[in-house]
């Protein structure tokens, strides 16, 4: 963990204007290739999940799960989750036929059962957000229905695994839609290679690592801050910022977007965690699996977050309210 030093400038930043707007106020346009690209985008995610669960259940036995204080039934349910992901792969590949991409290669930072289940919770949440965010761009209504059907199962997986981890299974009345490049940025960190000829119309942003200065795995709405390690250097190397660029940490939770001034210290940025009524009266606090990007957008009417003004992302925070 990187220590955080709270300067006077950071304290002053807490009083800078901040705004909130629904996530779904952003325009969602279909990628090049339309529904075929969207189906291959979904197939990439399902390939990732299938490989993740296949490796995890090959590497860890039912006894390993019990030793990690998970029930025998939970281990069996993880096998069911793997079967679901296999079914999703088969369905999407079948729908695409010869236009389906080949499976990429993946690598996962899993060392034990707890890290496996922790990452599985994150991936199921991302999967839910991916299908939800893609829905408005799907032209074929039969494909939209199928995507909605898969989304519902991903959400069930997410709630079940969250409960097993002692997290709130339903932390927010709304799930969080994410854009194509936001999800691709999250998936790309596990991809070690695409098959020759793969041509997906998506890009990954410079990486964003969110660190809790308290070393806790959970953040608390309206309390503390998040450190975005080496984010300035990553964005500068990509040509996205200069020393004088004003940067905002943009949090996505449910249908809310929070724009919070980010303070730079060396190569890191720091931002406070927003809480209830943070930007306006009646605004709910962020909760559950919250996503974060750095952007030059400040949230004003004509300056909202987009792929074009995102300089780094996507970070993930587990927030309790």
Domain boundaries, given as residue ranges, for the chain? 8-25+205-320, 34-193
d(Cα 164, Cα 147) in Å, to the nearest integer? 26
34-193 CATH pick, 3.40.640.10, 1.10.287.10, 3.20.20.70, 1.20.1260.10: 1.20.1260.10
The residue assigned the tokens 């281990």 is 75
CB contact at 8 A, 165 and 117? yes
For the domain spanning 8-25+205-320, the CATH number is: 2.60.40.10
Largest CA distance in the chain: 59
DSSP string, 283-314: PPPP-EEEEEEEES---BTTB---TTTEEEEE
Does residue 60 contact residue 110 with C-beta atoms inside 8 Å?
no
Q: Are residues 184 and 201 in contact, defined by beta-carbon separation less than 8 angstroms? A: no
Sign of CA dihedral 108, 109, 112, 117: negative
Strands 219-220 and 310-320: parallel
* Same CATH fold assignment for domains 8-25+205-320 and 34-193: no
247 and 260 Cβ atoms separated by less than 8 Å: no
pLDDT in tens, the chain (321 residues): 433 333 233 333 333 344 444 444 557 899 999 999 999 999 999 999 999 999 999 999 999 999 999 999 999 999 999 999 999 999 999 999 999 999 999 999 999 999 999 999 999 999 999 999 999 999 999 999 999 999 999 999 999 999 999 999 999 999 999 999 999 999 999 999 999 999 999 999 999 999 999 999 999 999 999 999 999 999 999 999 999 999 999 999 999 999 999 999 999 999 999 999 887 888 899 999 999 999 999 999 899 999 999 999 999 999 998
């Amino acid at each position: 963990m990187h220590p955080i030093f709270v300067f006077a400038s950071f304290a002053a930043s807490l009083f800078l204007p901040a705004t909130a707007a629904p996530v779904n106020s952003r325009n969602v346009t279909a990628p090049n290739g339309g529904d075929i690209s969207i189906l291959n985008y979904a197939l990439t995610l399902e390939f990732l999940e299938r490989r993740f669960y296949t490796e995890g259940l090959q590497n860890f036995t039912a006894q390993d799960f019990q030793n990690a204080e998970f029930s025998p039934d939970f281990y069996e349910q993880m096998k069911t989750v793997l079967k679901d992901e296999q079914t999703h792969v088969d369905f999407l590949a079948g729908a695409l036929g010869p236009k389906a991409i080949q499976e990429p290669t993946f690598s996962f930072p899993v060392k034990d059962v707890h890290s496996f289940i922790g990452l599985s919770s994150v991936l199921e949440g991302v999967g839910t957000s991916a299908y939800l965010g893609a829905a408005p761009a799907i032209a074929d209504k039969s494909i939209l229905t199928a995507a909605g059907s898969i989304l519902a199962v991903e959400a069930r997986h997410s709630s079940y695994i969250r409960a097993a981890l002692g997290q709130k299974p339903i932390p927010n009345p709304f799930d969080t839609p994410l854009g194509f490049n936001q999800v691709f940025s999250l998936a790309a960190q596990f991809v070690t290679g695409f098959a020759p000829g793969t041509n997906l119309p998506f890009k990954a942003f410079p990486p964003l690592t969110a660190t809790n200065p308290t070393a806790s795995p959970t953040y608390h709405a309206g309390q503390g801050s998040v450190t975005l390690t080496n984010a300035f250097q990553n964005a500068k190397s990509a040509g996205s910022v200069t020393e004088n660029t004003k940067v905002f940490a943009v949090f996505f939770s449910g249908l809310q977007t929070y724009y919070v001034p980010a303070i730079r210290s060396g190569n890191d940025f720091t931002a406070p965690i927003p809480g209830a009524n943070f930007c306006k009266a009646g605004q709910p606090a962020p909760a559950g699996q919250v996503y974060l990007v750095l952007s030059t957008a400040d949230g004003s009417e004509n300056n909202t977050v987009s792929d074009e003004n995102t300089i780094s992302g996507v970070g993930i925070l587990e927030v309790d309210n």
